[in-house]
Amino acid sequence: MRVVQNFLIQHGYIAIFVLAMMESMCIPVPSELFYGLGGALTAAAFVASTGSHAQPLSVVAVIISGVSGELFGALISYHVGRYAGRALVDRYGKYILLSHKDLDSAERWFARFGVWSILFGRVVPVVRSVISLPAGVAEMSRGRFALFTVIGDSLWGTMLVLLGRTAGKNWDHLTHTMKAIQYPVIAIIVLGLGYGFWHRWRGVRSSQQS
As a whole number of angstroms, the distance between CA 55 and CA 12 comes to 10
165-196: burial string, b at 16+ Cβ within 10 Å, e else? bebbbebeeeeeeeeeeeeeeeeeeeeeeeee
Q: Name, in order, each residue with C-beta under 8 angstroms of 199's C-beta and a sequence gap of 6 or more.
A: none
Residue extents of the structural domains in the chain: 2-209
Say how many residues make up the chain.
Answer: 210
Could you read off the pLDDT tens digit of each residue along the chain, which spans 210 residues?
567 778 888 888 999 999 999 988 877 788 888 898 899 899 988 888 877 778 899 999 999 999 999 999 999 989 888 887 666 666 665 555 566 666 666 667 677 777 777 887 777 766 777 778 778 877 788 898 999 999 999 999 999 999 889 888 876 665 555 445 445 555 655 565 565 555 555 655 665 555
As a whole number of angstroms, the distance between CA 14 and CA 65 comes to 7
Q: Name, in order, each residue with C-beta under 8 angstroms of 186's C-beta and a sequence gap of 6 or more.
A: none
- Half-sphere exposure (Cβ direction) of 112: Cα atoms closer than 13 Å: 11
As a whole number of angstroms, the distance between CA 205 and CA 94 comes to 7
38, amino acid identity = G
